[in-house]
Amino acid sequence: MTAQQPLVATRDLGVHFRLSRNTVLKAVDRVSFDVLPGETFGIIGESGSGKTTLGRALVCLEAPSAGQVLHQGRDPYALSRRQLRQHRRNYQVVFQDPNAALDPRMTILRSVREPLDVAATMPRAQRDEVAMQAMERVGLSPDFAARYPHELSGGQKQRVCIARVLTLRPSVIVCDEAVAALDVSIQADILNLLADLQREFGLTYIFITHNLGVVGHISDRVAVMYLGRLVEMGETEAVLARPLHPYTDALLSAEPVALPSHMRTSQRVILSGELPSPVSPPSGCRFRTRCRFAQDLCAAKEPEWSEVEPGHWAACHFAGTLPVTSSPVHGVAEVVA
């Protein structure tokens, strides 16, 4: 793609869970993408699409069953355990549920200081100071230091989680539905905070979400995930304005539009049926059971993951030839702008 070394990349990554002797759940299956330094890479998918598992694999919380995760071109699993512990501090994650991500028995200061305690590169007093600075940076007053997580609101807890990963000065932060558990007004606060921090520290984000509004607002490039596979990837504007894959099209048209029904231009695409079981995905194209354009070819042959337009990838036999609609994305974008 470009001469730049990708900061995070996956090569045919698969994360499989053995459910019983004969059934294997392929939560992530043959996923390949590059994330370049300084960009915000969005990953969209509905629940059960494997996006959270993918995010966990990117920060080495799940070991790949197939393929590779590469951090700056190197496989972190080739490192010794000790080296991996050192290395992974550079690749941090903000989880969806801030309630569960903080130890209920630790004060806020201790939680924020924890990554520094593990690194043990500076004396205690300095660690406290850096932790307090990080808290201040995310808008938490020093009075919170001695409190416990249950005394904070969801938004405050998510700020604590962000402050905590900031203390390590990571180059990559994976935000796994980082705002999904919060009120819409707080979501905007947190998204703005993340944008500010990106400018300030030159962070690279991988933003995992089901919320198109969030992705459209914050991402440079997006990838769309369906049943463990990527179905489309490209520049955010290109994907949102001219989706190549019918699934992306359906997702876009499902986004609520802030207009009265008679003024809406686009037709809604209603997906019928449920997400098929990832244990036994449909033959050929995985989306064919819910696709309104499905042909015999789709059941017979798996579509190739190909670059249909420059920088715009899709996995569909008929990519670029289908009369897919496009719709403007509304939602959080306006609130934040």
Partner 1 sequence: MSAALQPVRAVRRPSASRRFLSWLRSDLRAAVSLAYLLVLFSLSVFADVLAPHSPIAQSMDMLAPPDAAHWLGTDDLGRDVFSRLIHGAPMTLYASFLAVGVGTLIGLPVGIMAGYLGGWVDGLTGRIIDALLSFPSIVLAIAVTGALGIGLTNSMIAVGIVFSPGLARLIRVQTIVVKNDLYVDAARTFGMSPLRIVWRHILPNAIQPFIVQVTLLLATALLAEASLSFLGLGVQPPQPSWGQMLARSYGYMEISPEQMYAPGLAILFTALAFNALGESLRAVLDPTRRRSD
> Residue numbers of the site for partner 1 (CB under 8 A)?
56, 59-61, 84-89, 91-93, 95, 97, 100-105, 114-115, 118-119, 136, 138-141, 143-144, 146-148, 150-151, 156, 161, 164, 168, 188-189, 192-193
Of 257 and 336, the one with the shorter C-beta distance to partner 1 is 336
d(CA 247, CA 268): 12
Crossing angle between the packed helical segments 184-201 and 154-166, to the nearest 10 degrees: 10
Q: Distance between CA 189 and CA 159 in Å, rounded?
A: 10
Q: Where are the alpha helices (DSSP H) in 31-97?
A: 51-58, 81-87
DSSP 74: B
Q: Which is nearer to partner 1, 4 or 126 (CB)?
A: 126
Instruction: Write the single-letter amino acid at 333.
Output: A
By beta-carbon proximity to partner 1, the closer residue of 92 and 253 is: 92
56 vs 245 by CB, closer to partner 1: 56
Neighbours of 183 (CB within 10 A): 12
| Pick 91 or 313: Cβ nearer partner 1 | 91
* Distance in Å, CB of 189 to partner 1, minimum: 4
- Beta strand spans in 36-134 (E): 40-44, 66-71, 91-94
Closest separation in Å from C-beta 116 to partner 1: 9
Distance in Å, CB of 81 to partner 1, minimum: 9
Strand partners, 172: 91, 204
Phi, psi of 305 (to 5 degrees): -85, 100
Smallest distance, Å, CB 162 to partner 1?
Answer: 12
In angstroms, give the least distance from the CB of 55 to partner 1. Answer: 11
